[in-house]
Chain A
Amino acid sequence: MAVTGDIHDSAKVLALGLATGFGAIGPGVGVGFIFGKTIEAVGRQPELRGQLQGLMWLGFALTEAIVFYALGMAFVAYAIA
């Protein structure tokens, strides 16, 4: 099958996808850690559930935001390349 289209455009699309995908690996691991460790901690000390949940959501949001730095830079690369 003959390949048609602009190689420059396809490279930009690939860069957007790759940057977002690789950028999601680390925060994915981190978010999993946060929820897993919270479950562990609640299992050990169920009476601290309320405090731990507040901390969990804070940590979740801080970690999750790192995906969006990668996504933001990917959009910038897509826009200016």
Chain B
Amino acid sequence: MLPLLKVDFNPVAEFTDFVHNPYVTLPLGLDINKAVVYMWMAALLATLLTLFAVRRSLKVRPDGRQTVAEVVYDLAQNQVARGGLPEEGMRIWFPYVATLFVFIWMMNLIGFVPLPFGERHFDLFGLSIPEFQIYAATANLSVTLALTLVTFVATHVEGIRYNGVIPYFRSWVPSDTPWWIMPIMVPVEVISQLVRIVSLSFRLFFNLLAGHLVIAVFLGLASLLGTYFILPIGIPMGVALYLLEATLIAGLQAFIFATLSAIYIGGAIHPDH
């Protein structure tokens, strides 16, 4: 039997097991574990790439690096922010949604680079190296829920700040609603505001989790099923899904998260729209 089939392959383990052995244990559950390290790497990469792209002074006739930076900036400004935010909210909230866009994009992209962060170790010339794996910080509900809660709090704080407390909460229901529908409309609207937390965080979390799981399952299908006949199907499918996820889904989910944040915040600033 070839060594591949002896591997005890569990595609789910890399998304769950790391919680139990953090690198640094801190009180209040603020452990520094794999997801935290991945977030730091994403923040560092986003900062360094931006500095690299616009390191020298910006030119009127941009070179290659500056063109890339301008494309990303234009996408963040015109597609993400202008789509949802009104003009008076741009000054404060455009930097926020643009940061969300770039940060989540970088977290997703790092998730598709195999890095030695596995729980199990293998020996290479006497060195004990952690297994290489593709793990994304956004394939973790805590990360996406934290980002969502920032947007959620910002939405309602801005709504109250621009409209006042009573007019803002009154704007949740349409102004021409008859009084006798109110007992139905008010709970529905309150629930729809709270469901935004679930939908915004779950969309990003499960997209990345399911994407990584499907790639891992197809690449490890021979090991899971214990036969080599499946290899000609499993490996190409895994590679195709990997390419789809890394090129399209990683950027698209970051775009969607930032756009919806902009729409929610903009909708609270100007409830009529």
Q: Are B252 and A68 in contact, CB atoms less than 8 angstroms apart?
A: no
Q: Which residue of A lies closest to B248 (CB)?
A: A57
Indicate whether A65 sits within 8 Å of B207 (C-beta atoms), given known contacts A58-B256, A72-B202. Answer: yes
| A–B Cβ pairs within 8 angstroms, 8 of them | A57-B256, A60-B252, A61-B253, A61-B255, A65-B202, A65-B203, A65-B207, A68-B202
The 7 closest A-B pairs by CB, nearest first: A68-B206, A65-B203, A61-B256, A72-B206, A54-B79, A71-B210, A71-B206
B83's partner among A54, A61, A72 (CB-CB below 8 A) is A54
Contact yes or no, B203 A68, CB < 8 A: yes
> Which residues between 54 and 80 of chain A lie within 8 Å of chain B, taking CB atoms?
54, 57-58, 60-62, 64-65, 67-69, 71-72
Verify B259–A68 contact, CB threshold 8 A.
no
The number of chain B residues touching the other chain, given as a range, is: 10 to 19
CB distance from A63 to the nearest CB of B (A): 11
Bound Cα distance A67, B30 (Å) = 32
Apart from A65-B202, A68-B207, list 14 A-B contacts with CB within 8 A. A54-B79, A57-B255, A57-B256, A60-B252, A61-B252, A61-B255, A62-B256, A65-B199, A67-B210, A68-B210, A69-B202, A71-B206, A72-B202, A72-B206
- Bound form: Cα–Cα A72–B201 in Å: 12
| Chain A residues near B (Cβ < 8 Å) | 54, 57-58, 60-62, 64-65, 67-69, 71-72
Give Cα distance in the complex from A58 to B252, angstroms: 9
When distances are taken between beta carbons in the complex, the residues of chain A under 8 Å from B203 are: 61-62, 65, 68
Q: Which residue of B lies closest to A55 (CB)?
A: B83
**Which B residues, 58 to 115, have Cβ-Cβ distances below 8 Å to chain A?**
79, 83
Q: Which residue of A lies closest to B207 (CB)?
A: A68
B259 touches A58 (CB 8 A): yes
Give Cα A60–Cα B79 distance, bound, in whole angstroms. 16
Q: Give A30 to B165 CA distance when docked, in angstroms.
A: 38
Q: Which partner residue on chain A sits nearest B263 by CB separation?
A: A58
- Bound complex: CA of A30 vs CA of B150, how far in Å? 30
A38–B259 Cα gap in the complex (Å)? 19
Residues of B within 8 A of A64 (CB): 207
Closest Cβ–Cβ distance, residue A65 to chain B (whole Å): 4
B255 contacts across to A, CB distance below 8 A: 57, 61
A residues in contact with B207, CB < 8 Å: 64-65, 68
| A64 to B, closest residue via Cβ | B207
Cβ of A23 to closest chain B Cβ, rounded Å? 11
A65 neighbours in B (Cβ, 8 Å) = 199, 202-203, 206-207
List residues of chain A with CB within 8 A of the CB of B205.
Answer: 68
Closest beta carbon of chain A to B252's beta carbon, Å: 6
Nearest neighbor of A72 in chain B, beta-carbon distance: B206
Chain A residue nearest to B208 (CB atoms) is A68
Residues from chain B with Cβ under 8 Å of A54 in the complex? 79, 83
The distance from the CB of A5 to the nearest CB of chain B, in whole angstroms, is 16
- Within 8 Å CB of A69, what residues of B? 202, 206
**Interchain CA distance A57-B79 in the complex, whole Å:** 11
Binary contact readout B176-202 vs A (1 if CB under 8 angstroms, 0 otherwise): 000000000000000000000001001
User: In whole angstroms, how far apart are the Cα atoms of A68 and B205 in the complex?
Assistant: 9
Chain B residues with Cβ under 8 A from A62's Cβ?
A: 203, 256
A65 to B210, CA, bound (A): 11
